Every structure is written in C-alpha cells, then in structure tokens.
Structure 1
Amino acid sequence: MLVAFCTYPHIVFDLDGTLVDSRRDLADAANALIRLYGGRPLALDTVVSMVGEGARKLVERVLDAAAISLSIDEALERFLELYEECLDVHTRPYDGIVPMLESLGATRCLSVLTNKPARATRRLLDALDLARYVQFVVADDHRFPRKPAPDGLRHLIERAAVTPTETLLVGDSWVDLHTARAAGTGVCLARYGFGFASIPADERVGVPTIDRPEGLLAWLTS
C-alpha cells in the first residue's frame, strides 16, 4: 500500500515509459537506421530494452546488436533525423495521464526530466498537447549530465523553489530510481512503464509503485 509522506508540491516526471508509450516509434527509428546501413532489423522488445540512458547510448547498443561498424557520431546524427520523422506516429500518452496531469497541475508544479534529446522532447510534448501541463523541462541538451546524475533534477528543484524532500520523481526505470536517490527526493515507480523490468528486485524493496497513472493521483490526494 502506498503511503504519501508529504504533499509533494513539486512532481517531476520521466517521459518515455512514464508519461508516454514511445516504444514503437523508437524501435522503428532504430530499425530504419539499421536497414540504412545494411543490417537486419531488431525485435521491438530488443530495442526497447536498450532505451533509457539517452539517444547516444541507444545508438551504440543498436549498432552493436546489429553488428554494424560505424562512427557513433555519424550514426547518432542519422538516428535523430530518422526519429524526428516518426516520433509521434504511434507514441501516445498512457491511458489516464492527461486527466492526472490536469488534476495535479492545478495545485502543484509539474516538471519533466528526460534523457531524450531536447528538440525531440519539445516536439513530442507539443505534438501530444502535454506541454501546457509542464512548467519546467530538462532534457538532453548538454547543459547537465544525463540521468542518473542528479544535476538536472537539482536544477528543476531550484527552478520550482522547493526542497528535495518536497519533490517527487515519478519514473519507470533504474535510471530514475538512482537519480531520485542521488538527489534526495521522493520517488515513485511506474510498473506499467517499459523500463520497470530493468530494476533489480532487491532495489525495488520498499519503493512506492503504481500500476496505472491514476494510482499516483489517488495516492497524492488521499
């Protein structure tokens, strides 16, 4: 059972796997990259298991899995171009996300912290009409180290003019869990997210989890 230890006036959300289900578009872009260089496409679940630590790490893993020898910088540039072409074809907010954001945003500051490239993040939030619920965004624009480094989260805490203990990070992967712990914030894990399986069972002990987005709303407003 979840127990809310404080009201958390500041809630920070991960993007992929927490607010939006982006599996298909990420996999399609990765496989388009592979086909471009003569490789064999990877299964969707294989690509999804590589997501979470930024586009560069994803491209490195994809090239390795497809046995393609190529400059990472060149491949990353091409991948980002391919992803820009399809980033909102299949990607949608998880069921329940929009009403949850509407409700929480009425009384709390909402932020997004993601390892997704900044341009793609802005485009996706706008395309899915989620930007209007979010006050602050930190994405991968090289201003801060990527998660699980806590720098981006600390910046959001400063922008929201709150303390770490007044901040809750909601995410779906070990990256989010480690980020929250490093920054000293609260944390809640989304079991419905595609990154949840990456979290070792022993690290999840005692960590609040939700099975669906409305579970967070029920917890915080109980």
Structure 2
Amino acid sequence: MMNYNTLIFDLDGTLLNSLDDLADSVNYALEKLNFPIRSKEEICSYIGNGIEKLIELSLPDKTSYDKFAECLFIFKRYYSKNLRNKTKPYDGIIELLDYLKENKYKTAIVSNKFQDGVTELNDHYFSEYIQVAIGKSPERRKKPYPDTVLKAMNDLDSSKDKCLYIGDSEVDFKTAKNANIDFVGVSWGFRDKNVLEDLGADYIINAPNDLISILGCK
C-alpha cells in the first residue's frame, strides 16, 4: 500500500491560533460603524469560509450591502496591519513541521484567507518549512471547492493517494472529500471534536505530533 508523503494544511485553527487578531479586527470594524460587537465565541463559529462570510455573519441581520462592503473594507485594512499582534502557532506545530522537513515530506497551506494574508503569515512563521501557500484569489474557487487543494498537489508534484488534508472545520472536511483525499481533523482548532466525529473525519488528532502515527499507516 502507498504511504502518505504530502501534507496540505489549513491555516487558521490548524497551524495558527489567529482567533484573537480576527476577533479584534472584526470588532474594530463593527465599532467604527456603530454596530454591536461580537463575542470571541461567536466570531470563532463564523470563521472558515473567508472574510466576506465572516463579516456577513458578524453584522446584524438585514444590514445593507453598502454597509457590509464598508465594514469589509475597514476590517481588511485594519486586519492586514494587525494580523500578527497575537497570532501564533499552536503548541507542537513547529516541532511537527521540523519532523516533516527532516523526513522530506511535501507540505503546503491551503486557506480561505485572502492571498496576501496567507503569504505574510506563512513567510513570517513557516517560511523554512512550507513553500506552497495558497489563499483566496480570483484565479480559483475557494474551499470547499477542491481547486486550491488540487493546485497545491500539482505544485508539489503529488497525487491524491499520497495526500492528506489537515484542518479543523466542516469546510475543510468538505474540501478534502471534494478533492477525493483523506482528511485529518484537529481537535485543538475552531470547532469541537464532536463536530469532527459527526462529520466522519478519516482521522482525528488531539496534538500535532499525533499526525506522525498516521503517516505510513495507509
């Protein structure tokens, strides 16, 4: 049987705990427009489908499109300058990436975050480990469509039977299934472990180094 040699990671909630910076930026934009702020728990539940959906869900029902567009603009401008204030890799992530690099695994990031944000965060935190980092752009459909995962596989010269997609959310699960690759759900992210169990994740891990036991077991 083939062994996995390619690991494609979601970013927010999987490699990076970015919740505080996202929540701060959402509430900054909401306050600027005199809308009620949201709790961190609410914002956490809205993350996963890109910043447009994050802002849409954070705004009150029946908010006009003009106010949505203004809020999105304020959020993106503020967040782009403050996306590394509190964000950091989850405990054990750097050690896992060290192991993958030493053992010559192919790695990539695929995220619904805007491309400039993905590039900056990857360059700052993971540049020595991950060379392929794909975010939202006009060139391809965002997750849960498989386009970005398939692009990463192509860039890494890999194949579906050797690839795992690692993420924390329903969107990540659907993306892996749409790409016809196996999915590893991480329980430390923005969704509870029971969500991953209900989805039917191929694997669920509770700490980054748990991934190592999956590699080669296919």
Instruction: Give the match's secondary structure for 1:199.
Output: helix
Instruction: Give the match's secondary structure for 1:46.
Output: helix
Contact 2:11 2:110 survives alignment (8 Å): yes
Q: Deviations over 1:6-49 (max 9, x none)?
A: 42111100000000001111000000011000122111001111
Are residue 11 (structure 1) and residue 10 (structure 2) matched?
no
Whole-angstrom distance in 2 between the partners of 1:141 and 1:177:
21
Contact 2:33 2:71 survives alignment (8 Å): no
Q: 1:215 to 1:203 in 2, by over 3 A?
A: same
Q: 1:198 to 1:73 in 2, by over 3 A?
A: farther
1:127-142 correspondence to structure 2 within 5 Å: 127=124, 129-142=125-138
Aligned pair partner of 1:93 in 80, 89, 94: 89
Q: 1:104 to 1:139 in 2, by over 3 A?
A: same
The Cα of 1:57 is off from its aligned counterpart by 0.7
Partner of 2:116: 119
Q: Deviations over 1:148-193 (max 9, x none)?
A: 0001111111111121111110001111111111111121110111
Are residue 37 (structure 1) and residue 33 (structure 2) matched?
yes
Whole-angstrom distance in 2 between the partners of 1:14 and 1:196:
16
Report the AA paired with residue 39 of structure 2: A
Task: Give the RMSD, CA atoms, in angstroms.
Answer: 1.9
Report the AA paired with residue 114 of structure 1: S
Whole-angstrom distance in 1 between the partners of 2:55 and 2:193:
21
Q: 1:187 to 1:200 in 2, by over 3 A?
A: closer
Whole-angstrom distance in 2 between the partners of 1:153 and 1:55:
19
Q: 1:200 to 1:123 in 2, by over 3 A?
A: closer
Contact 2:30 2:71 survives alignment (8 Å): no
The Cα of 1:145 is off from its aligned counterpart by 0.7
Structure 1: segments with no counterpart, 5+ residues: none
Q: 1:86 to 1:196 in 2, by over 3 A?
A: same
The Cα of 1:68 is off from its aligned counterpart by 4.8
The Cα of 1:217 is off from its aligned counterpart by 2.1
Instruction: Give the match's secondary structure for 1:49.
Output: helix
**Number of residue pairs the alignment of both structures matches:** 215
Aligned pair partner of 1:59 in 48, 55, 58: 55
The Cα of 1:136 is off from its aligned counterpart by 1.0
Partner of 1:81: 77
Whole-angstrom distance in 1 between the partners of 2:75 and 2:162:
37
Contact 2:118 2:134 survives alignment (8 Å): no
Q: 1:201 to 1:110 in 2, by over 3 A?
A: closer
Percent identity for Structure 1 against Structure 2: 28
Instruction: Give the match's secondary structure for 1:75.
Output: helix
The Cα of 1:93 is off from its aligned counterpart by 0.1
Partner of 2:167: 171
Aligned pair partner of 1:191 in 187, 190, 202: 187
TM-score, length of structure 2 as denominator length: 0.91
Instruction: Give the match's secondary structure for 1:25.
Output: helix
Instruction: Give the match's secondary structure for 1:131.
Output: coil
Aligned pair partner of 1:153 in 149, 153, 164: 149
Partner of 2:209: 214
TM-score, length of structure 1 as denominator length: 0.90
Report the AA paired with residue 111 of structure 1: A
Instruction: Give the match's secondary structure for 1:133.
Output: coil
Whole-angstrom distance in 2 between the partners of 1:191 and 1:200:
8
